[in-house]
Chains A and B, each alone.
Chain A
Amino acid sequence: MKHGAPVSGLGLLRQRLFATPLDVAITLACAGILWFTAVPLLKWMLFNATITGASRSDCAPGGACWVLIRARFDQYMYGFYPAGERWRVNAAGLLLALGIAIASWKAMPLRGPMLAAAIFGFPVLGVWLLYGGLGLPVVETRVWGGLMLTVFMSVYGGLLAVPLGILLALGRQSELPIIRTLSVIFIEFWRGVPIIAVIFLASLLIPLIMPSGIGVDRLARAVIGLGFVIAAYMAEAVRGGLQAIPQGQREAAAALGLGYWPTMRLIVLPQALRISLPAITNEFISLVKNTTLVLVVSIFDLLGIAQAAITDPNWAGLNKESYIFAGAIYWIVCFALSRWSRALERRQDDRALKPSAG
């Protein structure tokens, strides 16, 4: 067989998997491992699983009991949000999807004003929909939960962290000593404290210090704490991008008579953010996963709801089902995020290449 010549399916299989005795051994070992792990797993998850029924007693032994997920699906999605008000969560979800669409669709007419409306208007609208007031019945944050809460904390934590992170990164490179020092202190403080400690402090210490009667919402405290930590990480990610921009560009901008903010807005930040986009996405994905830490202060995010489900005696013992389902949702969310950021990068790469190609 000549190297590089096209081979038929069977030939390809032989060439790839059974070319040498060592390859044969490795292939057989892998097949054996798959046989002993994947097959029982599939049997348990799919073939022997029970999907219909009303309680744990309807479930066949030896298979997964997905009845739990069916019975409590709404809780996994909405937590204890009142059933009659759940349309508001769906509406807020649509708002989020719309915001992402506006941010992604480059050729949209009136993109500038639309984007501004999405960035400044939608978050306010979202809080109003979810929390209520001004005509909508108030739904206290204590009944929020499940996927909706995880997404809420990620989105609002991110909305706090990204702009703050960019400002801190700029502040860290500022020529004004006081701004530089304050930025460094902020970044190093929040980077140095474990997130779980921040959540504890926000949830337990603040109410003890504050005069009674003045209370910031428990969830808001957790989101702000998370946002600050992630902002510090974001700042370092953005700093990496800023440092990659040659000093000459700033000097050229200064020579053209551009001030600090125009230089940053038109020349430095667009390039720096493009460079640091993968790192920013990483931080955002870690934010999504770090939201699970709020469980230590008894906020029922998706993981909390998964755990709450199996403390119901009617569903006791279905730990695997509950955790696998929650884990699968986390994976889908984080995987989608990483694909989206990959697509953004690719588009920016294309755009960056255009001038030299044309």
Chain B
Amino acid sequence: MQKIVIGCAALAAGLLASAGAFAQQLAPSPTLDAVKARGAIECGVHLGLPGFSFANDKGEWTGLDVDYCRALAAAVLGDASKVKFTPTSVQQRWPVLQSGQVDLLARNTTITFSRNATLGVNFQGINFYEGQTFIVRTKTNAKSAKDLDGATVCVAAGSTEEKNAADWFAERNLKVTIVNFQKNDDAIAAYDSGRCDAYTAGIGALAGQRIKLKVPDEHVILSDLISNDPQGPVTRWGDERWQLIVRWVLNGMIAAENLGVTSKNVDEMKANSKSAEVRRLLGTEGGFGAMLGLSNDWMYNVIKQVGNYSESYERTVGMGSPLKLKRGANELWTKGGLLFTPPFQ
């Protein structure tokens, strides 16, 4: 008899508990719990890529991907400095994510079908539209890759870039001479010495290489991309709530740029903005943070401490950095770029 009573009580308690959880609409998130217990996010970054992830003279990690990790820390823990970086090589990146040594990767990793389908990872949006393009001398007046008819292009033999470039020009019946070199470094050196009119690589890599040329200002990176290598933060399968957080912090940074919210005006916007979407983004309306199990000022913290997407981009790879990379495809969809976020509704 006693056992039955206890059993019923336990059953009732269990039902109540699950009903409570259902009402809050919050799925359990072991990753978020672990982050909170640890007091820091474990972020896997590139071990050294100019503009995206590198240690500055003071030993602080800096860059576009690093900024994203800091933004996530600001959203989840309220403090952009509460993040620990695990530099990862190309070979290491999947095992460190799969084995749970990091909570996410933000390290210039191209989103592809086969990775998504087979590696047990999900890609949470796009923070950089990488793609192959060309660097040319400013004085050649080439504005687009289509203007390269009759040019010579230096590439590393057997690289993906060589094949992409050859195919792209052949499809458009452009007469372009491709000059092969053993290594990328040889190809770029040959371009710098005037052997070729152009050199080709991913746009992010080109930005890093342009500043190594003898006179960087005499060279310009074309903004049309001939390949499609979008990159963004990566999480493990499972723990949907954590995946939501990772995705919507990135979306929030893009939305903030689109809505004109910056680290400078965020306090004023929070107090005075009439726009419903701004108010929902900054947590004065709608209780969006709570739906993810975060505080409602999650995006306020991100924008106040790290900035919107544009501020982060310009500081790390854009005009405020040595790389001086134009926005190009990484401009907002409203301004002719590809960078997009669903609405905060």
List residues of A whose CB falls within 8 A of some B CB. 61, 71-72, 75, 79-80, 140, 142-143, 200, 203-205, 207-208, 212, 215, 295-298, 300, 304, 307-308, 311-314, 316-317
Contacts and interface: CB of A to CB of B under 8 A. Distances in A.
A211 to B, nearest CB: 10
Nearest to B48: A311
B121 to A, nearest CB: 14
Interface of A is mostly: helix
Interface string B40-61: 0000000111110011110100
Contact of B100 (A71, A142, A205, A212): A212
B312 to A, nearest CB: 15
Interface of B is mostly: loop
Contact of A298 (B50, B56, B86, B100): B86
Question: 10 smallest A-B Cβ distances: which pairs?
Answer: A311-B48, A317-B212, A80-B59, A313-B322, A207-B99, A204-B95, A298-B87, A311-B54, A313-B50, A298-B47
A61 to B, nearest CB: 8
A316 B208 contact: yes
A317 B50 contact: no
Interface centre among B59, B87, B88, B214 (most CB of A within 10 A): B59
Contacts of B100: 207, 212
Please classify how large the interface on chain B is, using the bins under 10, 10 to 19, 20 to 34, 35 or more.
Answer: 20 to 34
Contacts of B85: 142
A308 B57 CA distance: 10
Given A207-B99, A208-B95, A313 B51 contact: yes
Interface in B90-120: 91-92, 95-96, 98-101
Nearest to A72: B57
A316 B212 contact: yes
12 contacts: A80-B59, A142-B86, A208-B98, A208-B99, A215-B101, A297-B89, A298-B86, A298-B92, A308-B48, A308-B55, A312-B56, A313-B51
B211 to A, nearest CB: 5
Contacts of A308: 47-48, 54-55
Contacts of A296: 89, 91-92
Given A80-B55, A298-B87, A313 B49 contact: no
